[in-house]
Structure 1
């Protein structure tokens, strides 16, 4: 099973700042969550990113993303060049839905609008036969419902699920995900992990070759399970497409030091970063243009 190898932008814009996620400061996380309660505030930052030449939004399937997708659909002139990279599943969403309406209520809530009977049939037969593949594909379809009509050339499996499946040894799930994403959506599957070397072994074992993998990659080894050396060895020697996140080590590294080190790595595909202001976005774009000069990412 080979990668479709779509062309990736050098910089991808992440969404942690919009939903109160900060791995170093709970206070900063709360402040950001309050600031972005209004969808207008989110759209303002996304507009700034687009204006600075960053047109790929790597986002979770948080319920608030529905509002962002609706805005993008209603203003195609403004957002026609914007690509969405959904990251799924958003586990808290399902936990809350099951608590409020039970399992079947949660399934009904997130079923795609099209193919309803087919989805129900797959869900029912899956439960009866304990068919993991049927349940998995049903949930993928449910997660992607909010992105209908938008460009989603890469669809990611979130690290909370990737690393759980890896730990349980249920690596066949990666093949199921990859097959369904490619076949039904014509998209490339991506995998997010906190343990890059182990995941590469798992993907090799089920025939997912030259995979698109996003992991923490930074000079300090922040949240890099197994240590920096193991990651650097994998990036240099193993056939996969590396996307670096947490390159600033959640603020422990200066932007210049972090970007200079990251851009010096071999075989790096993209960097995903988050920012709350146009100034911070412009600064990151400028630094990447400086240290990745063969293909500037900023405004032409």
Structure 2
């Protein structure tokens, strides 16, 4: 499966800006309205960016609910990025452990999941826990297109640090077999993740990480990333290519699209003008080869 070259991210919808807290607060206020979020997604699709790479935040479930029943939005694609840790913490505080589990599980799957989770805790079999959490996160995306499912960097990099890399194989197998989707992995340390994925037999992986001209938030250093991109087999999704505004858009896009093994760029924007501008830059610097 080929991914779209340009993916639309969701940071702006939840008040995330790595350079400006003031801008982040303003965006969070603006996007309290679901209609405001959907309008920006509509702008992106009109610009040819139909894939929404999103967290599993509670408000994304509302977005999916609207998309699911709207024929005008039938070409909207979702790339879920899981887990969204605050969601679980809040649900457990409000409803307790079993209430939270029941809330997030697929309909009719509570008994099966409870047994799976119980066996896992009793036998320290992590596979049951991993698959249980994936199923809980995927519940909100029933009925919409999810051809790639990502594991969030907060979990990926924690597992890397703990050395429990077998979890990557478990995640990849479950996403592939149950959801007919490709697994993706988000990380702040691309070279180290590639070594881990190789060791558990995940070939030519979809990996998302910060990739930009100044090495902004690229753990391990830009040279290690360039070496990996030039010499390893992967399908890289580049995020933070503008380094939160530190690099001029034209310069950023020209640099990243010249790199090998870049399959997609994910970006966030809150206005039609910025979406159109980024889409135009990518088309200019990264033309689709003619057959």
TM-score (norm 2): 0.97
Say if 2:189 and 2:220, in contact at 8 Å, map to a contact too: yes
1:18 — aligned with what? 13
Match of 2:50 in 1: 55
Partner of 2:232: 238
Q: Which residue of 2 aligns with 1:3?
A: none
Q: Which residue of 1 aligns with 2:146?
A: 152
Shift of 1:101: 2.5
Give the Å deviation of 1:95.
1.4
Aligned to 1:221: 215
TM-score (norm 1): 0.94
Name the Cα RMSD after superposition. 1.1
> 1:97 Cα shift?
1.5
Which secondary structure does the structure 2 equivalent of 1:64 belong to? helix
CA contact (8 A) 1:289 1:295 kept: no
Match of residue 242 from structure 2: 248
8 Å contact from structure 2 (residues 187, 209) kept in 1: yes
Aligned positions of 1:158-173 closer than 5 A: 158-173=152-167
Distance 2:60 2:4 in 1: 21
1:97 to 2:76 alignment: no
Deviations 1:122-156 (A, max 9, x none): 12222222221101101100000000000000000
**Paired residue for 1:191, among 182, 185, 196?**
185
Number of residue-to-residue matches in the alignment: 290
Q: Provide the rounded CA distance (Å) in 1 between the counterparts of 2:165 and 2:203.
A: 14
SS in 2 for 1:271: strand
Q: Compute the displacement of 1:177 (Å).
A: 0.2
Say if 2:233 and 2:261, in contact at 8 Å, map to a contact too: no
Distance in 2, matches of 1:255 and 1:139, equals: 38
Q: Within 2, Cα distance between the matches of 1:51 and 1:125?
A: 48
Partner deviation per Cα, 1:212-257 (whole Å, 9 max, x = no partner): 0000000010000011111011011101111100000011111111
Question: Is 1:221–1:228's contact at 8 Å kept on the other side of the alignment?
Answer: yes
How far does residue 121 in structure 1 lie from its aligned partner after superposition?
Answer: 1.7
- 2:98, 2:62 → 1: CA distance? 25
> Counterpart of 2:253?
259
DSSP-derived class of the 1:293 partner? coil
Match of 1:86 among 62, 75, 80: 80
More displaced 10-residue stretch of structure 1: 103-112 or 34-43: 103-112
